Chain A
């Protein structure tokens, strides 16, 4: 769909979140020179067309006790990566699944998924189960657990004020 300049301004203003006030859309509109009704109409359309994927309360898994996070990667032949990706994306506990360009020889992997869990053993067990049910371990693969979290927040596509909070959300 077309994302207009006005949509972009709205999205930029929304990057740091809605103000927690009674009429947040009116406040958002005031910041970008739009009426509340226009903000609602534009957000509705961006949501309907999938530009906005989720619109709501964005939680931090880590703070809720989901401390273990593994990135699983596989080097899958080009012809099979899309069908496998779609299968894996439908699995419970898989929070993200995507295809990226490989960077051989150092990094031959092109299929990624992320699994969150309360502890390392649970995540490893889930990963093994996932690999087994989709016969994934016939491809070169790797599991990378997260260690220190240096920074986490939402993405800013447009310039915004300086980051005042190093923490963020959906790691």
Chain B
């Protein structure tokens, strides 16, 4: 079967996860306990020790499955952000993408299948810093961008319930 190109990466979900790891990945996406020893509190809920929780999280982070244990913020309260789009010729894509990814303001930078084929999200402390960063990107890459500012956000950002598949490879 022909594999659809959906990502630059062809690696699989690295391995099968234990019930303990699955619970760590799924059940604590919203409300890490706000107590002095939160990982002990998580361990209590899962019938595991504090050290086991810390080690499992560290490993999942090393493997790249966990980005971080931290916060996602409501947009627009602290700082400003935008979504920007560019039309980049394929032969110039790697160069342009590298310039954009190198900027500290940029947190997501994706290729998408469209005439506007490069999309990135940038945030900064205030509007003038963001505008300056976007202008610098246009100058350095040589392509104009569309600056698509947020009006409002409808989703409650409920996190993501992972539907576990069997250990078999998922896109074969």
With A20-B58, A149-B110 as known contacts, state yes or no: A63 contacts B74, CB within 8 Å: no
Which residues of B40-84 have CB atoms within 8 Å of chain A's CB atoms? 40, 50, 54, 57-58, 61, 63-74, 77-79, 81, 83
Chain B 78-105 interface 0/1 with A at a Cβ cutoff of 8 Å (1 = within): 1101010100000000000110110011
> Does A135 have its Cβ within 8 Å of any Cβ on chain B?
no
The distance in angstroms between the C-alpha atoms of A24 and B123, with both chains bound, is: 26
Complex interface: chain B residues within 8 A of A152 (CB): 107-110
Taken together as a complex, chains A and B put the C-alpha atoms of A165 and B69 apart, in Å, by 15
CB within 8 Å of B: which A122-159 residues: 142, 144-159
Give the A-B pair count, Cβ closer than 8 A.
Answer: 289
Describe A's contact surface by its main secondary structure.
mixed
A160 to B152, CA, bound (A): 27
Bound-state Cα–Cα, A17 to B32, Å: 12
Chain A 54-74 near chain B by CB (<8 Å), digits 1 or 0: 111111111111011101000
List the A residue with the shortest CB-CB distance to B161. A92
Q: Which residues of B contact A82 (CB under 8 A)?
A: 152, 154
Decide if B111 touches A148 in the complex (CB within 8 Å).
yes
**Interface presence of B106 (CB below 8 A):** yes
Contact A57 B108 (CB under 8 A): no
B9 at the A interface (CB under 8 A): yes
Say whether A34 faces chain B, with CB atoms less than 8 Å apart.
no
When the two chains form their complex, are residues B123 and A156 in contact, meaning their CB atoms are under 8 A apart?
A: yes
A44 in the interface, Cβ–Cβ < 8 Å? yes
Of A22, A59, A118, A151, which one neighbours B101 at CB under 8 angstroms? A151
Contact of B57 among A20, A144, A163 (CB under 8 A): A20
How distant is the Cα of A88 from the Cα of B152 in the complex, in angstroms? 14
The listed residue with most A CB atoms (<10 A of its CB), out of B63, B67, B116, B117, is B67
Residues on the B chain within 8 Å of A14, using CB:
70-71
| Interface set, chain B 115-172, CB cutoff 8 A to A | 116-117, 119-121, 123-125, 146-157, 159-160, 162, 165, 170-171
Q: What are the residues of chain A within 8 A of B8 when measuring CB–CB? A: 147-150
